[in-house]
Amino acid sequence: MLFRSLRATAVQRKAIQIVAATRELPPGVPLTPKDLTMLDWFNDTPPSGSFSKLEDVVGRPLIHSMGASEPILKRDLGLEGSGMGLAGRIPAGMRATAVKSNEIVGVAGFLYPGSHVDVLATYAASATAGPLTQTVLQDVEVLAAGQTIEPDPQGKPEAVDVVTLLLSPEDSQKLLLTSGQGTIQFVLRSGVDQKNVEIRPTRLNQLIAAENPPASPATPRKSIVPAAPPRQTVYVLEMIQGTERSVQKF
């Protein structure tokens, strides 16, 4: 019985062939037949989005770099004819938007292609309200740092003056409008942190502690006692005339 079960399992796990890379391939270059090979794979666990025919892959650019013998999936490919280099890495419906940067804005040179950042803007909302800083975009992918579309294999930092972000058309408009109103700062975030949170803008007056004078100690209330009227001196004059007696006071 056990032998029959193992034999049935072996029949079910008959190998099929899927398209894979023959060598390490950079992104953005249309694939040619010499870049591809057929790789044996068990038919009960094929990778989702894999290809079984070379002709379905040839001519399409890679969005991400691939390793040797790594199966090529639909999510790794741009549309056929979408272009080479950076253009081949832009998925349908998205845009590559470049903004000026510097060493500070570029997180001291540690922005690499593939990094994820939040975009903060500092500007004056009005002439009276003063400056504020606001998170404009969250979890944005960096497509290119300068003219580099692949991170340095050794992780060497590089100062750049232009950063290209992968954005939707709506977010592209937000970024370009914001860049014309003030300064832009990129905040580097973990690649595994994809959660967007609600962040209220920060105004300058929120950074200044209120200076309230210390309360003076309460002064005990004094009861007011009406002053006693001044004492008056009374003089008494007694007059006796014969048998008559009189008294006068003044």
Structural domains in the chain plus CATH codes:
2-89 (3.90.1210.10), 95-206 (no CATH)
Q: Please state, in angstroms and as integers, the Cα–Cα distance from residue 222 to each residue in 217, 219, 225, following that order.
A: 15, 9, 9
How far apart CA 250 and CA 18 sit, in angstroms, is 136
How far apart are the C-alpha atoms of 133 and 124, rounded to whole Å? Answer: 9
Cβ–Cβ < 8 Å for 154, 81: no
Torsion, CA 94, CA 176, CA 128, CA 187, rounded to 10? 70
Q: pLDDT confidence of 6, banded at 50, 70, 90?
A: very low
| Predicted pLDDT of residue 127 | 67
Among residues of the chain, what percentage have pLDDT more than 90?
A: 17
Interval 134-151 mean pLDDT: 82
Residue 18 has pLDDT above 90, yes or no: yes
| Low-confidence winner among 4-8, 26-30, 44-48, 64-68 (lowest mean pLDDT) | 4-8
What are the distances in angstroms from CA 172 to CA 94, 145, 177, 183? Answer: 9, 17, 9, 16
Cα–Cα distance measured from residue 133 to residue 125, given in angstroms and rounded to the nearest whole number? 10
pLDDT digits (tens, 9 = 90+) for 85-124: 677 677 778 898 888 765 455 565 677 788 888 999 888 8
Query: Quick check: pTM over 0.75?
Result: no
Average pLDDT, the chain: 77
pLDDT, tens only, 116-140: 889 998 888 776 667 888 999 999 9
pLDDT at 59: 85
Question: Which residues, other chains included, contact 169 with Cβ-Cβ below 8 Å and sequence gap of 6+?
Answer: 93, 95
Q: What ranges make up the beta strands (E) of 129-243? A: 131-145, 162-167, 183-189, 202-203, 236-241
One-character DSSP codes across 84-122: SGGGGG--TT-EEEEEE--TTTTGGGT--TT-EEEEEEE
* Predicted confidence (pLDDT) per residue in 42-87, tens digit: 877 888 889 999 999 998 888 778 889 999 998 888 766 555 567 7
